[in-house]
Structure 1
Amino acid sequence: MSLDENISRLVDMGIETDIAKKALEETGNQLDAAINSIYSKNDPDPPNYNEAVQAKYNEENNFQHGNDSRNVELGSHMSAPIEIDDDLKNTLSKYKSYERAPIQLDDSDDNHESKMDYVNLDSSSGEGTGGNMMGWSSENMEDISAGEYNMLEDVPREKRLPNAPGVLIPLGSDTFEGYMAPVLMIFAQIPSLRDIILKHEFFNYGFSANWWKGQPCLPDSLALQEIQRLVAFLSYDSERAYATTKLLSDAISEIVGEGYESVFEFVSFLYKQLTDILSTTNCDFEKPLSKLFETKILSLTSEHQESHQCFTIEPSYFHSTVYGIMHRLFWGRDFSNIGKNRMIRPSDILTFVFDADGQNISGGYQLSQKFYPQIYTAPYEDLIKEKIKQLKALRKKSAEITSEMLRLRSFKGKKVNSMLEGTINYLERESKQKEDAKGQEKIDTNEEKVKESSENAGIAPNLSYSQAVNELTSIRDHINKTIKEDAMKLEQISKEQQIDIFDVEKILGTETESLEPWILAGIILNDQQFCVLSEHDHNIWRCYFFDGMNNYEYEEMPFQELQSQVRVYSKTTFERGMVLIYVRKSVFEAKSEPAKNTNLEKFIEKDNKQLETELQEYKKEHENIEQEDDMNISDKEAGEGDETQIGEDLID
């Protein structure tokens, strides 16, 4: 067993944590030796076992497992599990906003170079950090170092590199636009949702050479037209590297209303607006959109069913895993609500919004590539119930054994083993003195003392010294043997208790063979950093880092490295939380060509021609500049030659 597990065993016996740790360290993590060491020393009196065991047992009957408010620094009140009857507006009113600051994902704890250093190019300071951007020239890098670079004016960079994905650029500095770009990029990778968005064909989408910078294509374009334009840019054969979301922001500005105070508010708004707009356009979209976005949850206490498009994770629900969080949301921290709230139908897209409220996750958050929401449905929650029942039975048994060990070790506040050893030693000394003693008076006095000692130890009177020593030794050995056996029982129980109630895949066992998982498809760390799962390789993530319209960096990262980065980020600088988007595996991996929208395809073709024209003009312009530079250099060299000749003539 590990040191922490043995410390927990000793703490269960009522021993102080510091004393338990010290004893285990001194005895090489040997549980029985540590127990003997603790009680053989002149430490404070042993605890009152009745009070200690009762307190521990009462606590365990409430069943706490994993991280909770007693051993992690959450700094928040205990929250109730999901209340189906909560009013959404009351829930939203609790959220707060924070000043934006670049998040530095420092992975120094993991002893490898970070690939997620935030690219911070401040034009006012002329300073910048971060690695070289993909495909940038030395001239561009000089502009960046001088704080003058603007990628929207970098014509060569407008051309998309081979096999590189299109990128949406949030021009604004507010949370709204900063989160809209990554959400749309993730949605564009979900074939069924992408096709619903593209399916409705408008007669006219207009055109503008600088639409991608935010120049209007139509006098009064609709929000759906601009959503389609961006999704078409991401999905069709566009040769452009990036486009801004400004036209979409302008199109929906009238329905945005007042600024949102939290990421959850905005994500909820975006999901609702998208589904409402698409459903209004075509009533046939209503059912597939509901399947994509609406998770049906039933509260058995109120017999009320509600739909949730995303889940907000407040600090009181924080845990290191997605299952730890969802267990608390559905069943409470003590699992008292298990069976009272359950999923009727999980949506194909499951979104979790972490509202950090300025708090980190103790130990960091461990990303999971797969998620089985079926565990929160009726057929499978019984597996969790059974595990909880087993754990409670084991903990009850552990408390009983611990109680017995405490009784054997202490009596009326005194250590039994020490008291027996003292009595045995005393009697052995007296026995020896008796043999050497002379005089009946001294013998009578000693025998009276023996009688008194025997009666105090519970031994029948009139025993000889040797008989008393033998009986007391037998009692001592029996107690030590029983304690050792109890310690072995506790160790075995501890092994049986190693049921991780949050290791759902292990609990499901072979059931996972017949269940379809949801896979992690996108992570939005903040309004300037996000990661999207590669549709070609599910172990590769495309990570983007923005500095408004000035600059962005794109890198590919294996999941293990991303997992490590997020763990460090969530335990150190998690003030603004993050958004996780899971998608049903079959929905995400469905292979199909984007839905045909002839007018949008024509728009992309026209934009590709426009881009080619711009590149040719840029190339021609720079060739002319280079020729002029060459001519100037030649003229200068010729002029210098003439001056040299004149000088020579003057000398002659």
Structure 2
Amino acid sequence: MSLQDNVDNLVNMGFDASVARDALSRADNNIEAAVNFIYSDFSADLPPYSENGESGPLGPAGPTGAAGAGGIVADGRSASTAIEIEDDIKNKIASYGYGHDNPVVDLDSDQSKSEIVPTYEVYDDISRYTRAEGDPGVLLPVKAELLEGYFAPLLMTLSNIPAFRDLVLKPEFEDYGYSELWWKKDKCVSNPSVVMETQRLVAFLCGDSFRAFASIRSLIDASSKLMTDDYQSVAEFIQFIYSSLIELFAKTDESLKRPFEQLFTSRFRFEDDETQTHCIFPVESNYFYKDIYRIMHSLLWGKDMGRLGQHQFLELSDVLTVSFEGNGDTVPGGGFELTEEFYPQIYTSKHEHMVADKFRRISELRDEVSKINGQTIQLKAFKGKRVSALLDTTLSHLSSLGEDERVQSAAKELESIANHILDCKTRNTEKLTALNKERSDIDIYNINYILGDQKAEFEPWVLTGVIFNERQFWYRLEEKWYAFNYTLEIGKDFEISQTTFDNIVSQVREYSADNFETGMVLIYVKKSLITTDSPIINKNLQKFIDTDNQKVANGVALHKLNEQQEEQEGQIVLSDQ
């Protein structure tokens, strides 16, 4: 049948036309393989399927690696997971003439099918299950282009902050349950809470877990009932995450409310004494500037600094999150210049004078320059006549009148006036040079200039995370920076690599100046909170980690044993031949 015929058939079976067409394209117009593609997708909007086909403690034990894991075998059937298509769907497929009884395709015919390249699924690659020594744990988003995907990079970044980690791990549940596929999709308990699933993932990330990666799906499922709003931006979604964490952990343990608020919530005062709280600072395109201080100056004090001294922070949160709202606009002037340290204290009522005094001096200098320029203009001209030219002409005329004593006396007075004017001009030029030099030295966006010799007395907020989107981000773990890249559209995979801050600076500059499509999220953390203390995990949660570690070890050992047996069997066959 033609592609359109099969699309129509799948539509008649209840599938969306765009979903059907995409699946058939991926399956080379094989309708059964297309249905397998649809049912192996994580989308919660698709019809239910049977999950009884999972095999082994760590998932299917079929072919692994980029060529075998999560792909399509030669006859077009799915090899990604052991998903069983429901009988009514099978019968419907059979009625269209597809299934295991298909006639053999003539490979010499023009209608022969091309070989289907299998898609790689890291979930099916047992060789990737064990975390390499020194590598951080990884959370995988479920799908691309979803705001929920920001759960993964955000939670991974926050888990490296001991203050956040310790607050999350403080509550203790009697039973965290266990499922052999918790890291992929299954619930460990029948009705998990957001607090429990956040603890589970944080313990997996920063505890002594052997497992290399896990899906963020458990946390998304647990929080799905809370996501009642239609979030329009990354900033709105992150605001929801922070607010939910504060509220839900406070319900679990009231003593956690204030520490969580201190972690995420800043208080801000307006000129009319109105106060607001902020967990995240969204930056729209009309506030895109080349560095963080120019942006924050404009957000708080206005582009003309007209609100300086009127708007200020009353309380700074320990975690400061800034979100650039990407909509196709880029950062002018060559892109954004990332800074590893940020000093937000200059925006507080206590220290804003350090900027205000310098900005006031700029106004004073402007007035002084204007006054001197006015004086200079008066010295140069009078009633539209150039004074110097008039004096020169008059002196020349007087010198032509001879040696008359009164004429010579007048000439001397005029020469004195001319010299005085010249001296005034010279002094004004010197004053202007000094004033312009002082003005050029005043940089109200340069933190080194603003703080001066007092800089050592201030504690910086240190950059710990840079998120481009749910598929590409960096975070700081102790003194090292790690880069993360996810493949989510076709198959599932991830890459981790160590990088340098200079490399991140370069990529941010290039991205923000050229293609700032999804914007960017910056996470700054108070430096004193970045420690190397080991996490304290309660005994019940540790039991979950220990159980999972044993499952990982058993599954990997079994996989290696099977590989050895297959290799031995292959050697025996070769020797017999």
Give the TM-score normalised by structure 1: 0.65
- Counterpart residue number, 2:42: none
SS at match of 2:226: helix
CA displacement at 1:473 relative to structure 2: 11
Quick one: which of 595, 615, 621 aligns to 2:536? 595
Change (3 A) 1:557 1:416: farther
- Counterpart residue number, 1:524: 467
User: Is 1:273 aligned to 2:216, yes or no?
Assistant: no
Change (3 A) 1:384 1:455: closer
CA displacement at 1:277 relative to structure 2: 0.8
User: Is 1:571 aligned to 2:513, yes or no?
Assistant: yes
User: Is 1:551 aligned to 2:493, yes or no?
Assistant: yes
Q: How does 1:289-438 map to 2 (within 5 A)?
A: 289-299=260-270, 301-363=271-333, 364-403=335-374
Q: How does 1:621-636 map to 2 (within 5 A)?
A: 621-635=562-576
CA displacement at 1:387 relative to structure 2: 0.5
Kept after mapping to 2: 8 A contact 1:455/1:461: no
- Counterpart residue number, 1:81: none
SS at match of 2:317: coil
- Counterpart residue number, 1:561: 503
- Counterpart residue number, 1:186: 157
Kept after mapping to 2: 8 A contact 1:522/1:531: yes
Change (3 A) 1:631 1:587: same
- Counterpart residue number, 1:434: none
Higher relative contact order (CA 8 A, sep 6+): 1
Separation in 2, partners of 1:612, 1:358: 47
- Counterpart residue number, 1:423: none
Kept after mapping to 2: 8 A contact 1:151/1:157: yes
Paired AA for residue 292 in structure 2: V
Quick one: which of 425, 443, 451 aligns to 1:508? 451
- Counterpart residue number, 2:129: 158
CA displacement at 1:252 relative to structure 2: 1.2
Paired AA for residue 248 in structure 1: L
CA displacement at 1:162 relative to structure 2: 0.9
Separation in 1, partners of 2:129, 2:182: 13
SS at match of 1:243: strand
Q: How does 1:480-491 map to 2 (within 5 A)?
A: 486-491=428-433
Kept after mapping to 2: 8 A contact 1:175/1:263: no
Kept after mapping to 2: 8 A contact 1:223/1:248: yes
Paired AA for residue 291 in structure 2: T
Kept after mapping to 2: 8 A contact 1:123/1:148: no
Residues 226-272 of structure 1: CA deviation (Å, up to 9, x unaligned): 11110110121001111110111111112212542210110011111
- Counterpart residue number, 2:437: 495
Paired AA for residue 570 in structure 1: S
SS at match of 1:606: helix
CA displacement at 1:414 relative to structure 2: 9.7
Paired AA for residue 562 in structure 2: E
Paired AA for residue 496 in structure 1: E
- Counterpart residue number, 1:25: none
Q: How does 1:437-448 map to 2 (within 5 A)?
A: none
CA displacement at 1:186 relative to structure 2: 1.4
Kept after mapping to 1: 8 A contact 2:207/2:537: no
Percent identity between matched residues is 35
Greater alpha carbon shift after TM alignment, 331-340 vs 233-242: 331-340
Residues 61-117 of structure 1: CA deviation (Å, up to 9, x unaligned): xxxxxxxxxxxxxxxxxxxxxxxxxxxxxxxxxxxxxxxxxxxxxxxxxxxxxxxxx
SS at match of 1:358: coil
Paired AA for residue 198 in structure 2: I
CA displacement at 1:515 relative to structure 2: 2.2
CA displacement at 1:357 relative to structure 2: 2.9
Separation in 2, partners of 1:185, 1:481: 69
User: Is 1:225 aligned to 2:168, yes or no?
Assistant: no
CA displacement at 1:627 relative to structure 2: 2.1
- Counterpart residue number, 1:236: 207
Separation in 2, partners of 1:393, 1:522: 40
CA displacement at 1:177 relative to structure 2: 2.4
Residues 43-69 of structure 1: CA deviation (Å, up to 9, x unaligned): xxxxxxxxxxxxxxxxxxxxxxxxxxx
Greater alpha carbon shift after TM alignment, 143-152 vs 550-559: 143-152
CA displacement at 1:504 relative to structure 2: 2.4
Gaps of 5+ in 1: 1-121, 126-138, 421-453, 639-652
CA displacement at 1:553 relative to structure 2: 1.4
- Counterpart residue number, 1:443: none
CA displacement at 1:367 relative to structure 2: 1.4
Whose helix proportion is higher, 1 or 2?
1
User: Is 1:616 aligned to 2:557, yes or no?
Assistant: yes
SS at match of 1:629: helix
User: Is 1:255 aligned to 2:226, yes or no?
Assistant: yes
Separation in 2, partners of 1:403, 1:370: 44
Separation in 2, partners of 1:198, 1:157: 27
Separation in 2, partners of 1:624, 1:410: 103
User: Is 1:203 aligned to 2:164, yes or no?
Assistant: no
Give the TM-score normalised by structure 2: 0.73
Paired AA for residue 280 in structure 2: C
Change (3 A) 1:202 1:402: same
Paired AA for residue 534 in structure 2: E
Kept after mapping to 2: 8 A contact 1:311/1:351: yes
SS at match of 1:575: coil
CA displacement at 1:519 relative to structure 2: 1.0
Separation in 2, partners of 1:362, 1:593: 43
Greater alpha carbon shift after TM alignment, 455-464 vs 318-327: 455-464
CA displacement at 1:408 relative to structure 2: 6.8
Kept after mapping to 2: 8 A contact 1:177/1:245: no
- Counterpart residue number, 2:98: none
Task: Give the structure with higher Rg (CA).
Answer: 1
Separation in 2, partners of 1:608, 1:510: 52
- Counterpart residue number, 1:464: 400
Separation in 2, partners of 1:161, 1:362: 42
Separation in 2, partners of 1:171, 1:204: 26
SS at match of 2:483: strand
Separation in 2, partners of 1:404, 1:574: 50
Q: How many residues align?
A: 461
